[in-house]
């Protein structure tokens, strides 16, 4: 393993830690882990009854531990049962879970303070943990390789809590500006609390991210690697308000983080989430550019009349699409004769206002309208009635949206369906069977099928993978973090092959010349698809 792959492995393990630690402590506090160790093999339903848990969120939590190899997790979609068993790592791992206590206590405390300021009270707690971490929490080294590996895994998880939120705060506050990355600097140049900030920098010196000489600090190559990838932490860190409430979600009120329409979300720091996801999406957008260039270089009668971006957010993707078509395609040279109809649709009124403002500023003509991903019929009617645009004549695009649909009971339940998914799914704490999730996804895609049959549905989508696969690829995938952030916030990420199989049932098939997965292996968690009718 070269240095860069080791550093990248650390990022994935840090993300694992951000979600594993609060789950582990919640299940430890409620004696669930003790029960599992004693029974050795138990059903999810038995645990739900014994601990009066919300089965959906308990299922998500147990699957998170299984994806780290701490438990065995088996889904029987025919019987709709889940079996939890101990393995050779379980007892050792559970005995070390107390190491998570400090960082989870810090999490509970820090969510009461501003997410991007280093205020004294949470900082003092953070500094105490720095010192414990530097001493390896006093863990005695073991001759047993398995024990040593688990110790390293859990220490990396706690390191994730010390690094993740800190690096995101610093990046969003401008710490990784080129000026600081290319020169040495003193703490007081950057921060109004230089004493606190110096302790953070000293911890980074301990990790090998900085060199310190006479009070001046300078990035090392390793430090620059993490600084340039700070946004990789953003999405998972943005869900810390959810992870601070894990015990309540699993064992108490499952609606504790729900807000009414129009109220500010409390389960996620949306600004941070958008910042983090923006940094992560550049790779995928390059692939989308190639698809758009190919499509809008076709003869004009084979091109869509325009593009609809469902879930347009702040309008950045729509603006990017327009600029690619305008500057790099034949259609771009014919816009006076064949104008490009651009439509941004979103469920959120604030997003619509921001999109309008951003597109006007960029001097791009577009219709920006309210739309519900679950009701393409209403969208089609609105476009035809008010703008004389036929939804069927547009290329439909969306990024990381279909899994974030609001749950609806399927109208038609296929009682013969046996899902191939290993996912853990919930709605308001209740467990949703994998068979039902597939039925729901089928109906969702069937609603869109008549409107995307001709030009297709261009999707960048997020996926889960089998927890056994995650456990054998630790440090190579962010799957554990994705499963937790989405599972505890009622989102429905299924495996790539499951998604494509259900799309085919809806009469939509991937264009094989376009389909891509990231990474290009069995642990892929992102796909790019152009789904079209045959």
Exposed e or buried b for every residue in 504-521, given b needs 16+ CB within 10 A? eebebbbeeebebbbeee
Q: Cis omega before residue 519 (within 30°)?
A: yes
CA-nearest of 489, 472, 374 to 89 is 472
End-to-end CA distance of the chain: 44
Asked whether the predicted pLDDT for residue 179 surpasses 70, the reply is no
pLDDT at 130 over 80: yes
**Greatest mean pLDDT among 27-31, 110-114, 160-164, 511-515:** 27-31
pLDDT at 534 over 90: no
Given a cut of 60, whether residue 152 has pLDDT beyond it is yes
Average of per-residue pLDDT across 172-187: 78
| Percentage of the chain lying above the pLDDT 90 cut | 73
DSSP letter assigned to residue 519: S
pLDDT in tens, 191-207: 677 888 888 899 999 99
* Mean pLDDT computed over 253-271: 81
Least confident of 19-28, 119-128, 141-150, 204-213: 119-128
Q: Tell whether the model's pLDDT for residue 209 goes beyond 60.
A: yes
pLDDT per position as a tens digit, 324-352: 999 999 999 999 999 999 999 998 888 89
Q: What integer pLDDT is reported at residue 377 of this predicted model?
A: 95
Q: What does the pLDDT read at residue 285?
A: 85
d(CA 400, CA 499): 13
Mean pLDDT calculated for residue range 473-480:
97
Mean predicted lDDT score pLDDT of the chain: 92
User: Distance between CA atoms of 257 and 112, rounded to whole angstroms?
Assistant: 15
pLDDT at 118: 66
Q: Tell me the β-bridge partners of 42.
A: 84
| pLDDT, position 420 | 97
Q: What's this model's pTM, rounded to 2 decimal places?
A: 0.93
**What sign does the dihedral 357-361-367-373 (CA atoms) show?**
negative
Indicate if the pLDDT at residue 211 is higher than 50. Answer: yes
| Overall average pLDDT of the 82-97 stretch | 97
Confidence at 310, pLDDT banded by 50, 70, 90: very high
What three-state secondary structure class fits 509? strand
487 touches 494 (CB < 8 A) = no
CA distances from 482 to 171, 491, 498, 526 (A): 22, 10, 17, 11
From the CB of residue 59, how many other CB atoms can be counted at a distance below 10 Å?
A: 26
Neighbours of 136 (CB within 10 A): 11
Stretch 477-481: mean pLDDT:
97
pLDDT tier at 1 (50, 70, 90 boundaries)? Answer: very low
């Amino acid at each position: 393993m070269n240095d860069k792959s080791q550093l990248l492995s650390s990022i994935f393990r840090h993300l694992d830690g951000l979600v594993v630690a609060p789950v582990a402590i919640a299940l430890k506090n409620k004696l669930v882990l003790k029960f599992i160790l004693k029974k050795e093999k138990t059903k999810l339903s038995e645990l739900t009854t014994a601990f009066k848990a919300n089965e959906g969120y308990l299922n998500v939590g147990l699957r998170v531990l299984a994806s780290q190899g701490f438990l065995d997790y088996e889904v029987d979609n025919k019987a709709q049962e889940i079996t939890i068993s101990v393995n050779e790592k379980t007892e050792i791992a559970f005995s070390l879970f107390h190491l998570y206590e400090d960082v989870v206590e810090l999490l509970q405390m820090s969510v009461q303070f501003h997410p991007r300021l280093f205020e004294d009270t949470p900082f003092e707690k953070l500094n105490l943990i720095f010192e414990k971490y530097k001493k390896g929490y006093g863990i005695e080294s073991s001759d047993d390789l398995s024990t040593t590996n688990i110790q390293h895994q859990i220490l990396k998880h706690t390191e994730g809590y010390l690094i993740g939120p800190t690096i995101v705060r610093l990046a969003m506050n401008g710490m990784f500006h080129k000026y600081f990355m290319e020169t040495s600097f003193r703490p007081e140049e950057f921060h109004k609390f230089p004493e606190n900030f110096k302790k953070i920098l000293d911890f980074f010196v301990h990790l090998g991210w900085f060199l310190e000489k006479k009070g001046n600090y300078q990035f090392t190559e390793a430090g620059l690697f993490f600084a340039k990838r700070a946004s990789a932490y953003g999405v998972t860190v943005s869900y810390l308000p959810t992870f601070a409430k894990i015990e309540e979600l699993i064992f108490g009120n499952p609606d504790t983080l729900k807000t009414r329409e129009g109220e500010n979300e409390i389960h996620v720091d949306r600004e941070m989430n958008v910042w983090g996801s923006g940094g992560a999406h550049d790779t995928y957008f390059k692939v989308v550019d190639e698809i758009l260039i190919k499509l809008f270089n076709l003869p004009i009668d084979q091109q869509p009349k325009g593009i609809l971006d469902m879930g347009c957010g702040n309008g950045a993707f729509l603006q990017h699409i327009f600029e690619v078509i305008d500057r790099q395609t034949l259609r771009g040279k014919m816009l006076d004769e064949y104008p490009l109809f651009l439509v941004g649709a979103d469920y959120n009124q604030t997003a619509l206002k921001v999109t309008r403002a951003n597109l006007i500023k960029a001097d791009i003509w577009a219709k920006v309208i309210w739309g519900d991903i679950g009701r393409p019929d209403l969208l089609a009617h609105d476009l035809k009635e008010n703008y004389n645009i036929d939804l069927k004549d547009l290329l439909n695009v969306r990024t990381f949206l279909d899994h974030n649909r609001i749950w609806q009971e399927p109208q038609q339940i296929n009682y013969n369906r046996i899902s191939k998914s290993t996912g853990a799914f919930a709605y308001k704490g209740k467990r949703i069977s994998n068979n039902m999730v597939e039925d729901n996804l089928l109906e969702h895609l069937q609603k869109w099928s008549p409107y995307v049959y001709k030009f297709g549905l261009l999707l960048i989508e997020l996926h889960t993978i089998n927890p056994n696969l995650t456990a054998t690829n630790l440090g190579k995938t962010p799957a554990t973090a994705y499963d937790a952030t989405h599972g505890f916030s009622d989102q429905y990420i299924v495996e790539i092959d499951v998604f494509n199989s259900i799309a085919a049932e809806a009469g939509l098939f991937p264009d094989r010349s376009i389909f891509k997965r990231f990474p290009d292996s069995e642990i892929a968690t992102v796909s790019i698809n152009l789904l079209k009718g045959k």
